[in-house]
Amino acid sequence: MKICIRNICCIGAGYVGGPTMAVIADYCPNIKVAVVDVNKNRIDLWNSKDLDDLPIYEPGLKKIIERCRGKNLFFSTSINEYIESADMVFISVNTPTKKTGIGAGKASDLKWVEASARQVAKFSKGNTIVVEKSTLPVKTAEVIKEILESTDPIQKVKEQKSFHVLSNPEFLAEGSAINDLQKPDRILIGGESKDAIMALHEIYRNWVPEEKILHTNIWSSELAKLTANAFLAQRISSINSIGALCEATGADVREVARAIGSDKRIGSRFLDSGPGFGGSCFKKDILNLVYLSNHFGLPEVANFWESVVSLNNWNQNRLSTLIVKTLFGTVSSKKICILGFSFKANTNDTRDSAALNICKNLLEEGAYLIIHDPKVGSKQIELDLNLKPVIESEDVEYESDPSQYEGKWSYSREVYKACNRADAIVVLTEWEMYSDLNWEIVAKSMRSPAWVFDSRSIVNSKKVLKAKLNFWRVGDGAIQKKR
């Protein structure tokens, strides 16, 4: 029996729920889409008149919100009301790694998923399709289904309630999420009910070619998401390990990556050496895979995937150690300019950012950090570092006595001011603006002997060296030298 979807409710207004529902609303004008969340401040930002205040920065998102919001796309804290009217409910809530209890440090904490399922069980009406959108461990659908089916049988009959559970994992890269949603490599729908699968299939068919919409059983769909992230993270750790070897031998990791990336069996994607992977998914999903492997009696598999995370941590610590050693073995009371704090360009997401760990290491060594990022503000950095800025102004000027700022940080909105009297500049996020800096101007304001550390391979080395600055580039053994 064909199921017609007229009303969609998405629980969770974060990095997945907000953009995904915006794109669905844009391509399906006849469907009313509501994004709900308990976080009133986040919902208020989604409803802000100034579209520059949206809680998430993604290229192209602002234009879609402008087209659809208030027409067939709504953001609200009225969760129960929108669940009640929904034919389809997406669960897109946070699934952080557990901090305590069984599986602490590896297993996903599903408390928000469970809470959402209970709300759907209580407030839904009629036939409701429940879609897992959050990244979840295998067999989570069983938990959701059990909660939904635990509804009082008399109440279910009286209210004519029935449920179908689907898995529809997201395969989005932050910074290109809108493009990934509009032109996906594939759409994966896992489930047991053919009618429910086809109801979601028909929504995506409004803009996604038929052959790119794949149907699987629900367990394969859940595992596919974890596996995709694990494989991508593994490539990053692999190329970073080779990058370290290149630095030691005089090779250039970019040339190595180009050579192996030309092999069609390998491909060129995710072969950029850098400070390591970050974001909300890779580390969390790999640790979840480690937990699942151990749970099902596969310790060798668990050890393999855990090594991917271990190498990533080692690589981040390696960079901060290298900076300290290069600056004569100490950064105490030295001013270091940090360019980039988000975990990658074109996003304001700082979760598990490599910059966070590297900054913490340098602060522990006594450095005074001036941090700049075009999309991450002072308040978010303060939350991540758990440390207030020493100077509250967001347009900080260099003070004459850096010793009073040992182990502290400030924020600057202006790149060139951030570089003033700095002992070193560390590029940690591949924002395009950092590749276009005028190094002659920068060099004149820095304290000699000054260094530029390029962890993203985006800086023009010839221009830096011409400006008579010392230069280091990740994975480049031929250029680890002074001017």
The residues carrying an active-site annotation are 170, 225, 281
Residue 254 φ/ψ, nearest 5 degrees: -70, -35
Measure the CA–CA gap between 369 and 406, rounded to whole angstroms. Answer: 9
Measure the CA–CA gap between 446 and 426, rounded to whole angstroms. Answer: 13
In this structure, the chain runs to a length of: 483
87 and 129 in contact (C-beta within 8 Å)?
yes
In Å, how far are 203, 220, 469 from 443, measured between CA atoms? 55, 54, 7
175 and 200 in contact (C-beta within 8 Å)?
no
Please report the DSSP string for 359-381 in residue order: HHHHHHTT-EEEEE-SS--HHHH
Structural tokens at position 291: 């937990």
In Å, how far are 52, 206, 341, 440 from 61, measured between CA atoms? 10, 19, 21, 36
Residue type for 416, please? Y
137 prior amide bond cis, ω within 30:
no
Helix (H/G/I), strand (E/B), else coil: 228: helix
In Å, how far are 149, 150, 158, 421 from 154, measured between CA atoms? 12, 11, 6, 74
Comparing C-alpha atoms, which of 99, 95, 117, 121 is closest to residue 108?
95
